[in-house]
Structure 1
């Protein structure tokens, strides 16, 4: 199993939530990250098989604000979410097409 970029966030009720960074992408001159919540289920499978696609997983988009060596992850404005989802779909559709051509 490779290294995973894991962040820990705290929700409004003080609960810690672990999120894994899946990818970074740029849109409209700003940097964003795709994240997925790390669950206990993720740690249960250490058998060498990829169980990532066994069940549906929510993916989160967060804006990345860089200050020197520090990255801050902030929620995306609701009005911008539809644009970002469309951009991500186009980005990954293009990547899969290029992968299929190889």
Structure 2
């Protein structure tokens, strides 16, 4: 998980970010390969915003109870035309990454339990 996270370029596809209703972004690695990610949730930690991502997989066809998740920092930027964008940046600090993954796991488990109660 950690290696994949660091292989991806920090900028997400601008069109994907604008269409957040789908909660999907496309990212390109250093070799030019693109991967579609599903945004599961957002959270703040120490004043910074983070997103919990997973590979875009049709859950009905996998049958898996667990999926790999990634936490990326969201950095607001502005392009040449003045349009506001968001970059999804990998977390480089291993201690911070471990803490963020702990928070993400608790958040996802809490959300899952709340869904079960409904």
Shared fold by TM > 0.5? Answer: yes
Indicate if the aligned counterparts of 2:52 and 2:104 stay in contact, CA closer than 8 A.
no
Larger Rg: 1
Q: 2:50 aligns with which of 32, 39, 53?
A: 32
Aligned to 1:46: none
- Greater length-normalized contact order (CA 8 Å, ≥ 6 residues apart): 2
1:64 aligns with 2:79: no
Measured on the aligned residues, the alpha-carbon RMSD in Å equals 2.5
- Report how many residues are paired: 91
What 5-or-longer segments of structure 1 have no aligned partner? Answer: 43-49
1:51 paired with 2:60, answer yes
TM norm structure 2: 0.62
By percentage of residues, which structure has more helix? 2
User: Tell me, which stretches of 5 or more residues in structure 2 are unaligned?
Assistant: 1-20, 79-83
Aligned to 1:75: 90
Shift in CA distance, 79/51, structure 1 to aligned 2, threshold 3 Å: same
Q: What's the TM-score, normalizing by structure 1?
A: 0.70
